[in-house]
Amino acid sequence: MQYVMGIVGLVAFLLLAWLPSMDHRAAGKKLIRVALLIAVQFVLAFLMLKTGVGTALIKAIRDGFAHILGYAAQGTQFVFGDLTKVGTMPAFFFSVLMPIVFVSVLIGILQHIRVLPLIIKYLGLALSWVNGFGKVESFNAVASLILGQSEVFISLRSMLERIPPQRMYTLAASAMSTVSAAILGAYMQLIDARYVVAAVVLNLVGVFAVTSLVNPYTVTAEEDAELLAEPRDDEHRSQSFFEMLTDYILVGFRVAFTVAAMLIGFIALLAMVNGIFAALFHGTTFQDVMGHVFSPLAFLTGIPWHEAADAGTFMGTKLVSNEMVAMTQLHENKHGLSPHSMAIVSTYLVSFANFSSIAILIGAVRSINKKQGLVVAQHGLRLLYSATLVSFISATIVGLLS
């Protein structure tokens, strides 16, 4: 039954993407492309989760991050000493957030030696061939995964002024649907690495399936070439190796402290709101309410009805706060869900689709180009809606293969 509901849910989520479309007729013409993208997602999910090669690849990624976290721990231990542990368990800030600094350094080195630009270029070309969008959109989606949803727009600043509103919507949607490589190690300490990797890959493709329905348009090769032909500024080109190293260390440190501040604020606020709700509604918390609100959507992903409210609690928490808050709570209560439901919820949580991301995106783009910042602001809720559907579709596909 849960697999039947998963198929029904997949159709329902695509329908929910089509209903608020900016051009229903144009979206109808994209159905073959959408079907191709969904098929590609199924193939990728099967390869990652059901084959020996996929299992070995994910194990290699997981082990690689484990080694990176081990090296990062040496730097953290040197600076903070015994503060890194609370009782017998490592403190969350030191074990989960501080490694972001070291991962950021590695990204900076790969960027500096021109490895990342090559990865972005060739993955972007492959993605462009599959998704039917322009190369700018595809390059941006891959770059968002590596650089992060705010930093990626710096790489587009020389062409940002000339990007049409429809294409700007797709750029912002892909930035919100992916996650930053710098924080993947933190995710893998909270949820199964298999679903972290699966979500990252599936969202990278799925955002174009959803955007084809919500925001359909056609890009000519000439239009694409015109944007890409412009010289793009590269703030790291004239930097020495150690200047770059310093920059990325400080960027990673800011990201770690930003995430820490958001966790403190959101978890405290959530606790207060839960307390108020419990006092007013005889023990029913705000998260209980969110669980019931999201339970039909959780059910559509293939989660059994008796677990839907519990799963919906984590899904709703992610939307109103952020993915780290929801992952932390899921990690603490992981025995409350079956392995099948755990796979679906874990996959759903891996994206930046939450209310705070709207403000982050608007601020990041507006700081570079005021006009495009207003475009993002105009479509803020629609962007969140699209990115959330991307997460639901990825989670449903993983559920059908789990």
Any idea where the domains of the chain sit in the sequence?
A: 1-218+241-401
> Biggest alpha carbon distance in the chain?
63
Burial class from Cβ neighbours inside 10 Å (0-12, 13-18, 19+) for residue 20 reads: middle
pLDDT at res. 153: 85
Mean pLDDT is lowest, of 18-27, 194-203, 228-237, 265-274, for 228-237
Residue range 320-357, pLDDT digits in tens: 888 988 999 999 887 689 999 999 999 999 999 998 88
Would you say 277 and 286 are in contact if contact means Cβ atoms under 8 Å apart? Answer: yes
Looking at the predicted structure, is the pLDDT value of residue 301 above 90?
yes
pLDDT at res. 236: 44
pLDDT at res. 85: 66
Mean pLDDT is lowest, of 72-81, 132-141, 274-283, 307-316, for 72-81
More confidently predicted of 17 and 156: 17
pLDDT at res. 396: 97
Q: Rg of the chain's alpha carbons, rounded to an integer?
A: 21
Residues present in the chain in total: 402
Mean local confidence (pLDDT), 52-73:
91
Mean local confidence (pLDDT), 83-101:
71
Mean pLDDT is lowest, of 49-58, 78-87, 187-196, for 78-87
pLDDT at res. 342: 96
pLDDT at res. 147: 82
Reported confidence tier of residue 84, pLDDT bands at 50, 70, 90: low
Burial class from Cβ neighbours inside 10 Å (0-12, 13-18, 19+) for residue 165 reads: middle
Neighbours of 280 (CB within 10 A): 8
User: Which residues, including other chains, have CB under 8 Å from residue 400's CB and lie 6 or more apart?
Assistant: 3, 6, 7, 10, 42, 302
Looking at the predicted structure, is the pLDDT value of residue 375 above 90?
yes
pLDDT at res. 287: 86
Find, among 332, 295, 299, 328, the residue nearest to 310 by Cα: 295
- Per-residue CA distances from 242 to 109, 111, 182, 247 (Å): 10, 13, 19, 9
pLDDT at res. 382: 95
pLDDT at res. 308: 94
Percent of the chain with pLDDT over 90: 50
How many C-alpha atoms does 326 have within 13 Å on its Cβ side? 28
Would you say 154 and 291 are in contact if contact means Cβ atoms under 8 Å apart? Answer: no
Reported confidence tier of residue 90, pLDDT bands at 50, 70, 90: low
User: Which residues, including other chains, have CB under 8 Å from residue 70's CB and lie 6 or more apart?
Assistant: none
CA–CA gap between residue 75 and residue 133 (Å, rounded): 43
Residue range 152-211, pLDDT digits in tens: 887 787 788 889 999 999 999 999 998 888 889 889 999 999 999 999 999 999 999 999
pLDDT at res. 186: 87
CA–CA gap between residue 367 and residue 82 (Å, rounded): 40
Tokens of 48: 């990652």
CA–CA gap between residue 70 and residue 235 (Å, rounded): 31
Average model confidence (pLDDT) for the chain? 88
Mean pLDDT is lowest, of 80-89, 121-130, 190-199, 302-311, for 80-89
Give the range with max mean pLDDT: 61-65, 167-171, 282-286: 167-171
pLDDT at res. 233: 47
Would you say 362 and 379 are in contact if contact means Cβ atoms under 8 Å apart? Answer: no
- Beta bridge partners, 89, equal 86
Residue range 214-253, pLDDT digits in tens: 999 998 888 888 887 755 444 445 678 888 899 889 888 8
Mean local confidence (pLDDT), 141-155:
84
CA–CA gap between residue 2 and residue 247 (Å, rounded): 48
Angle among Cα 21, 27, 33 to the nearest 5 degrees reads: 130
